[in-house]
């Protein structure tokens, strides 16, 4: 069983976030932007652009507000993020543009 959700990010914002991800970053760690997908069974996935040295994208799956799955960090915002939880595949596709 699987379910897919798309998150559309405006081109200007993609450029801004990706240029930050391509930079050397900073010593401070924190979240710069969060993009959330909600699945039919109320499972949520957050794709977060995070400050750090180097900056990174943190993808986390939540069930009732509790973290249940995470993916190895990456330095690319756009793309596909796949989570495996309770026998189901949850996929988030982050794309440039509008719905």
pLDDT tens track for 47-95: 999 999 999 999 999 999 999 999 999 999 999 999 999 999 999 999 9
User: Strands 56-63 and 66-74: what pairing?
Assistant: antiparallel
Handedness of CA 7, 13, 14, 19 (dihedral sign): negative
Q: Which helix (H) or strand (E) holds 19?
A: helix 11-21
CA distance 74 to 14: 15
SS3 78: coil
pLDDT digits 0-9 by tens, 20-46:
999 998 888 899 999 999 999 999 999
Q: How many residues does the chain have?
A: 99
**pTM of the full predicted structure?**
0.93
The answer to whether residue 99 scores a pLDDT higher than 60 is no
Q: What is the pLDDT averaged over residues 16-20?
A: 95
Every domain of the chain and the residues it spans:
2-96
């Amino acid at each position: 069983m699987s379910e897919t959700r798309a998150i559309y990010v405006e081109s200007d914002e993609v450029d801004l976030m990706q240029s930050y991800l391509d930079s050397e970053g900073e010593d401070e760690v924190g979240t710069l932007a969060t993009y959330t997908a909600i699945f039919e069974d109320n499972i949520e996935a957050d794709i977060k652009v995070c400050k750090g040295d180097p900056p990174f994208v943190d993808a986390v799956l939540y069930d009732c507000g509790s973290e249940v799955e995470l993916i190895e960090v990456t330095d690319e915002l756009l793309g596909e993020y796949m989570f495996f939880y309770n026998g189901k595949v949850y996929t988030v596709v982050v794309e440039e543009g509008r719905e």
